[in-house]
Structure 1
Amino acid sequence: MRNDMNLLKCLLVFFSFSILANAQNETTKITIKNNLDFARKEVVSVKGKSLSNLIKGKKISDLRIKKDGTQEYVVLQWIDFNQDGISDELLFQAEVSAKTKVDYQVVFDKTIPLVESSVKAYSRFVPERTDDYAWENDKVAFRTYGPDAQRRVEEKLPEGTLTSGIDLWLKRTDKPIINKWYAENTKSPGYYHIDHGEGYDPYQVGPSRGTGGIGIWENNQLAVSKNFVGYKTIAVGSLRTIFELIYASWSSYGVRETKRITLDLGSNFSKFEISLEASKTVPNITAGITLHDNKGEVKNNTKEGWFRHVEKIDGQLLAEGIVVNPKLVTKAFSDVSKAKDQSNLLVVCKPKNNKLTYYAGFAWQKSGQITNGADWDTLLQKKVKMLANPLKITIKGNK
């Protein structure tokens, strides 16, 4: 009897080790496939049912991802869109060579330190400079303006700005500059208008569309909103920043506009998701780029859906562009005006259910990202192809 009990104990121990070994051998791989003929480094996401299956029965705080076959762990970011404390999306940045695929391994181990990065996507409301909203990543930086900046113009006070256009900050470092430049500008007004080695702000928006501002084109005129009146920060990075801007009713259509803006690490383009509510059908949503003094060069490729303006500011090339689904484009043209900051490259689009998504961004020669207009055209063409051919994500568990 005793021998039987000992045998039973041995069998239980054996089966326990077998179960443990099998559990330890269970792995989940995320395969990222690139069908295009150039290498890509992009933020990818796991969401919905795929995310639920990935973390089922485990703690999301323990999750780590590494390149398969290495100990090279990657930066992660969780997105909670409705701020209910439950993560809706998992992000990481994938690198994939041309026409190939890469495997990443999912590991649940809280003892492995989370990877942090000195480069990031980031955004915030800036009350110390009236009420800007600013956003950036390792390549570009933008800002736009709130109700206090509008009030200052209307009441003829200093530090005012009246525009719904999108301003550009020309940076030549991959490190964050928003907080530093605003802090230094508070101590020394005008600081960020001078290049101290990281870039500067020489860009004039005025009432123009800047790079990516919108309006409604009708009767040979562009109706535009005033400054944003509210904002909502959804995610601040480090791989993706997301926020929304809300505008008071504008135009003869009584438009109430919400603008969701997303910027990923490594991208020159902000994603703009425009949602309009109106008292009657809106004929179009028109995205624009300022032409400043009309000395730059414009190219419109309506077939592929990219539109660009290249000019020199202080002797250095600045290239701006808009990418949008060409099926939505009605026309694109240069609306030239003698009035200051009223000339724009306009891309007139037909919205679906009063919604439009497009991408707007830029590259600055002094940052080293481009040397001429052809370089920028290539980046725009690649963006078109990337949107039409997103990285393919496959998740499989193995034993």
Structure 2
Amino acid sequence: MGKIEKTGYLGTLIALMSLILMSCNTANKHNKTIIIANPSNVKRAEVASIPFQAFKQAYNHSNAFKIIDEQGKECSYQLEKLGTDSIANVLIWVEIPANSEVQLTVDKGEPAKVRAKTFARYVPERFDDFAWENDKIAFRMYGKALEGRPDDAQGTDIWAKRTDALVVDEWYKTGDYHKDHGKGLDYYSVGMTLGAGDIAPFVKDRIIYSKHYRQHEILDNGPLRSTFKLTFEPWDVGGKAVSVTKTITLDAGSQLNKVEVVYDYDGEEALPVVAGIVLRDEAGETIEKAEQGLMAYWEPTHGADGTLGVGVLTAEPVKKSFKAEGQLLSLLSASKGKPLIYYNGGAWDKAGNITSAKAWEEYLLQYQHNLKNPLKVSIK
């Protein structure tokens, strides 16, 4: 009887172990790892993107989930929808040492609340401004209500920040943003120029400005990426009606916007356009590297307000860079209905991160290197 009991016990134990192994194998099958590799020789801190369909196939977390790093810490993430009701991408904030990778896991459960690092909004209370910002810098473009006023301006404006807090709502509420109270200020002068990297057609050696934007659409609004679209009504460009949409994306941690411009007009010929940076009467430092797709300006110091660097870059070389109409210009070519992508932005020395023309140029060149060598994302 004892021998029979022992045999039964062993059989039960073997069956139990088999079930445990099967359970572990099943868990491992569903417990895949997100691997994000940095191919660069410098540390990267930026937003990584995973197509949601790939994420959904790997994980059966259709509702709430957490993304966990190797130290057991939650990673901030955003579900990017690109202006639709469906999720397009999972955006994850990562910091990866040079030539290294991070491995992330996904667990079910409500994620921790993420502090917003990007923000964009229409500002009807200030003549139809559209303003946007991240934890580094802020910008705005001008709307219809400003047209024809004595204080009218044309291109992209920069607000200098030295805080990682979001300030747009606060500054518009107080109206007191032309003096630095510890977080920064707006002292950048745009005037009737392209300002800090706006774009316009260039015909017969002349910039042909549009009117201000007419419609706006916010596609995503933080916490890690804000994207919006501005639509401009047709205007006359050398006897031809031209319209344009500008889709602008700003990520957390970035000094630069991604700008996607689509022109529409009759005909199939290319449209010459320029991205521009307004120059000052006082001496500043210009950086012109058309063969590298880089154009930048380290402004003259503005008294106690400090110094702003402004930059425009493309992933590929531009036709040429040159000075005209009091601006530094990069000549590009747009095709009807096809996105033209470039990057613009700025840095303020009083923020303490980029404090010289050389450092600004190095940042822009590294940014361009990162564009050509994106983080490599896989799920295994």
TM-score of the alignment, normalized to the shorter chain, above 0.5 = yes
Equivalents in 1 of 2:282, 2:334: separation in Å?
28
Q: CA deviation at 1:251?
A: 3.0
Q: Does 1:24 align with 2:21?
A: no
Counterparts in 2 of 1:97 and 1:225: CA distance versus 1, 3 Å: same
Partner SS state of residue 350, structure 2 = helix
Structure 1 partner of 2:78? 77
Counterparts in 2 of 1:299 and 1:279: CA distance versus 1, 3 Å: same
Counterparts in 2 of 1:48 and 1:90: CA distance versus 1, 3 Å: closer
Picking from 282, 288, 312, the partner of 1:300 is 288
Long gaps (5+) in structure 1: 186-190, 337-342
Are the aligned partners of 1:162 and 1:226 in contact in 2 as well (CA < 8 Å)?
no
Equivalents in 2 of 1:139, 1:127: separation in Å?
24
Picking from 292, 315, 319, the partner of 1:330 is 319
Task: Give the TM-score of the pair, scaled to structure 2.
Answer: 0.90
Please give the residue correspondences for 1:168-207 in structure 2 after superposition, counting only pairs within 5 Å: 168-185=158-175, 191-207=176-192
Counterparts in 2 of 1:41 and 1:307: CA distance versus 1, 3 Å: same
Picking from 112, 133, 158, the partner of 2:130 is 133
Structure 1 partner of 2:40? 36
Equivalents in 2 of 1:305, 1:193: separation in Å?
33
| Structure 1, 317-326 or 254-263: larger mean CA deviation | 317-326
Letter matched to residue 361 of structure 1 = G
Q: CA deviation at 1:18?
A: 4.8
Give the count of matched residue pairs. Answer: 367
Q: CA RMSD in A?
A: 2.4
Partner SS state of residue 83, structure 1 = coil
Equivalents in 2 of 1:282, 1:256: separation in Å?
14
Equivalents in 1 of 2:84, 2:316: separation in Å?
34
Equivalents in 2 of 1:326, 1:114: separation in Å?
40
1:234-268 C-alpha deviation (Å, 9 max, x unpaired) = 11101100000000112323111000000000000
Structure 2 partner of 1:161? 152
Q: Does 1:221 align with 2:206?
A: yes
Please give the residue correspondences for 1:277-292 in structure 2 after superposition, counting only pairs within 5 Å: 277-280=264-267, 281-292=269-280
Long gaps (5+) in structure 2: none
| Structure 1, 253-262 or 275-284: larger mean CA deviation | 275-284
Structure 2 partner of 1:382? 366
Partner SS state of residue 300, structure 1 = strand
Q: Does 1:350 align with 2:354?
A: no
Structure 2 partner of 1:258? 245
Q: CA deviation at 1:15?
A: 6.3
User: Percent of counterpart pairs with the same letter?
Assistant: 31
1:63-121 C-alpha deviation (Å, 9 max, x unpaired) = 221112x211111100112422x21110001111111222122x23115x32422x501
1:156-178 C-alpha deviation (Å, 9 max, x unpaired) = 5x7x5342x00000011011111
Task: Give the TM-score of the pair, scaled to structure 1.
Answer: 0.86
Are the aligned partners of 2:61 and 2:108 in contact in 1 as well (CA < 8 Å)?
no
1:194-216 C-alpha deviation (Å, 9 max, x unpaired) = 11110000111111111121111
Partner SS state of residue 284, structure 1 = strand
Structure 2 partner of 1:123? 120
Counterparts in 2 of 1:136 and 1:20: CA distance versus 1, 3 Å: same
Please give the residue correspondences for 1:49-128 in structure 2 after superposition, counting only pairs within 5 Å: 49-55=53-59, 58-68=60-70, 70-84=71-85, 86-105=86-105, 107-110=106-109, 113-117=111-115, 120-128=117-125
